[in-house]
Amino acid sequence: MKRRFRQSSYFPCKIETLQQDLFTDFFNSSPDLASKTVNVEGQKALIIYMDYLVREEEVYNHITSKVQGAKQLDYQTIESEVPVTDIMELKTLNEIGGALIEGYVCVYIEKEKHCIVIPVPRIDQRKPAKAETESLIFGPQISFSDSIDVNMNFIHKRLDTKTLTAEKFIIGDKIPSEVRLIYLSDIANDEAVQEMRSRLNSLQVDDVLDSSALTQYVEDNSYSIFPQFLVTELPDRFCYSLKEGRVGLLVDKSPTAVIAPVSFLSFFQTTEDIYTRWNMGSFIRLMRLVGMFLSIILTPLYVAALTYHYEIIPDALLVSLGHSRSRVPFPPLLEALILEFLIELIREAGARLPTKVGQTMGIVGGIVVGQAVVQAGFTSNILIIIVALSALASFTAPSYLMGSAIRILRFPLIILAGFWGFIGIMFSFAFISIHLIRQRSLNFPYFVPIYPFQPRDFDNSFIRLPFLWSYKRAYSNRPKKIRRFKKPNR
Partner 1 sequence: MQNNRKITLLIVGLLSMMIIPSCSHSKDVIEKLGVVSAYGFDQNEEQVLEGTTVLYQFNPDITNASQIIHSTGSTFNMVRSNANKKSGYKIVNGKLQTLLFGPTIAKKGVFPYLDTIERDAAISDMLYVTISEEPARDILSASNYEEAPNIGVYLNRLVDTAVLDEKIVSSKFHEFMRDYLQVGREPLVPIISIKQNKAAIEEVGIMQGDSHVGSFSMKEIFFVRLLREEFNEGRLDLELETKPFQDYIKEYQGDNREDKMFIVIDQLQNNSKINLTNVDHLTYEVDVSIHGRIVEMSQRMNLDKAAPLRKLEEEIDKKIKKNLEAVVKKAQQVNADVFGFGVKYNNRTRGEELTREQWQDLFPNIEVDFNVSTEIKRFGIVQ
Partner 2 sequence: MPENLNIPDHKKLKAIYLVIVLHTMQIGVGIAGHPRVVFLESGRDSFISILIAAIALHIVIACIVYVLRSFDGQDLHGILAQFFGKWFGKLITFLFIIYFFLLFISVLVNYIEFVHAFIFPDMSSWFISLCLLSLVLYAVLGGVRVAVGACIVFFFGSVWMFGLLIEPITYIQYDNYLPMFEASPRELMSGALKTSYTIIGFELLWFLYPYLKDKNKVHRYSQLAMSLTILSVLFITFVSIGFYSNNQLEDKIWPLLSTIKIISFPMFERFDIVTVALWMIIILPNLILFCWMTSMSAKRVFGGKENYYMITVCSLAFIAHYFFDSRYNVNFFTNYVGQAGVIFGFVVPILLVPFAMYYRRKGAKQHAKQS
Residue numbers of the site for partner 2 (CB under 8 A)? 308-309, 311-315, 420-423, 425-427, 429-431, 433-435, 437-438, 447, 450-453
Interacting partner of 90 out of partner 1, partner 2, none (Cβ under 5 to 8 A depending on kind): none
Cis amide bond preceding 261, omega within 30: yes
The one of partner 1, partner 2, none whose footprint includes residue 426, by CB under 5 to 8 A per kind, is partner 2
Q: Rounded CA gap, 130 and 38, in Å? A: 47
| Closest among 201, 262, 301 to 401, alpha carbons compared | 262
The CB-of-456 to partner 2 minimum distance in angstroms stands at 12
**How far, in Å, CA of 205 to CA of 485, rounded?**
42
Query: What is the smallest separation between the CB atom of 152 and partner 2, expressed in angstroms?
Result: 34
**Taking CB within 5 to 8 Å according to partner kind, which of partner 1, partner 2, none is near residue 452?**
partner 2
Between 411 and 450, how does the x/- string for binding to partner 1 read (CB under 8 A)? Answer: ----x---xx------------------------------
322 counts as binding partner 1 under rule CB under 8 A: yes
Partner in contact with 476, chosen from partner 2, partner 1, none, beta carbon below 5 to 8 Å by kind: none
Work out how close the CB of 422 gets to partner 2 at its nearest, in angstroms, rounded to a whole number: 4
* Identity of the residue, 44 or 440, whose beta carbon is nearer to partner 2 in the bound complex: 440
* Pairwise CA distance, residues 147 & 154, whole Å: 11
Task: Write the CA distances from 453 to 139, 169, 293, 456, 476, integer angstroms.
Answer: 32, 36, 20, 9, 10
392 binds partner 1 (CB under 8 A): no
Choose the contact partner of 429 out of partner 1, partner 2, none; CB within 5 to 8 A by kind: partner 2
Residues whose CB falls within 8 Å of the CB of residue 290, separated by 6 or more in sequence, listed in order: none
Q: Is 90 exposed, middle or buried (0-12, 13-18, 19+ CB in 10 A)?
A: buried
Judged by CB under 8 A, does residue 76 bind partner 1? no
Burial label, 296 (beta-carbon count in 10 A; 0-12, 13-18, 19+): buried
Site string for partner 1, 192-231 (x = CB under 8 A): -------------------------------x--------
Q: What region does 443 belong to: left with phi over 0, alpha with psi -120 to 50, or beta?
A: left
How many angstroms separate the Cα of 371 from the Cα of each of 144, 188, 276, 438? 41, 53, 38, 43
319 binds partner 1 (CB under 8 A): yes
The one of partner 2, partner 1, none whose footprint includes residue 36, by CB under 5 to 8 A per kind, is none
Tell me the pairing of strands 257-260 and 440-441.
unpaired
CA distance 166 to 183: 7
In this complex, which beta carbon is closest to partner 2, that of residue 361 or of residue 386? 386
Is 323 a binding residue for partner 1 by CB under 8 A? The answer is yes
- The C-alpha angle 216, 203, 224, rounded to 5 degrees, equals 25
Residue 323 near which of partner 2, partner 1, none (CB within 5-8 Å, type-dependent) = partner 1
Q: Which residues bind partner 1 (CB under 8 A)?
A: 223, 306-311, 313, 315, 318-319, 321-328, 331-332, 415, 419-420
